Amino acid sequence: MPELSVNIDHIATVRQARRGDEPDPVRAAHEAELGGADGITVHLREDRRHIQDRDVELLRALVKVRFNFEMAATDAMVAMACQIKPHSSMLVPEGRQEVTTEGGLDVAGQLPRLKDAVARLRAGGMIVSAFINAEPKQIDAALEAGFDVCEIHTGPYAAEHAKNGGDVLRLGLFRELHQIRDAGARIISAGMRFNAGHALNYHNVGPIARLPGVAELHIGHSIVSRAIYVGLRQAVREMKHEMT
């Protein structure tokens, strides 16, 4: 069974809607831990639309499990990560107008710049991850850039799962699932860690969680959505159950 890192960005989204002080992402992290989360993930966006700098500082000090920091590969973000020193940093593409991260990082097209960012982060003592599409050229480029982990973007899989009602014998869903499986095998054979995430929920997580060698899943929106009805602690427990 893979580990679960819970993304709590949207706790901060609710807080920022009123520019107040609740709900508090730090308290959310504590609830997620009590529900069995193996890690806590936040994405500090350049426009600070949800998670804020102070959140990152407090979470790094108070989170008792692995703290994963998602970030754009900018000099400012790399410098902040080196100061905060999360357990792991994940480089993701970032667009100011996007609702959520759309597509994987183009490591192959930005290799020199990303190689430098990875070297700086690793020198700061962090495990460094690339959020990429399930494409051989991106996996090979991630290895060349020095990444420790590749997190495969599961958004296309999730879209096919919804379109086909979860029927893995339907060609579109079958192809997406096997593309992720093959990407995972390539990542592992290259000596990197195979993670996965994006748009995973209680209905579609099972086939991904059962892929050979997948080490960790990163899930946020569906858990926070479920928490509205049952509480965050229980929502995390239910997701971990679906991952078995």
Q: Active-site positions?
A: 43, 70, 198
> Residue 195 phi/psi, 5° resolution?
-115, 170
Q: How far apart are CA 144 and CA 80, in angstroms?
A: 24
Q: How far apart are CA 211 and CA 130, in angstroms?
A: 19
Burial class for 66, CB neighbours closer than 10 Å (0-12, 13-18, 19+): middle
- Omega cis (within 30) before 136: no
Q: Find out whether 148 and 124 touch, Cβ atoms under 8 Å.
A: no
Q: How far apart are CA 107 and CA 71, in angstroms?
A: 14
Q: How far apart are CA 88 and CA 211, in angstroms?
A: 23
Tokens 């499986």 sit at which residue? 181
Q: How far apart are CA 10 and CA 153, in angstroms?
A: 19
Q: Ramachandran region of residue 26, left (φ > 0), alpha (ψ -120 to 50) or beta?
A: alpha
Strand pairing class (3-7; 127-132): unpaired
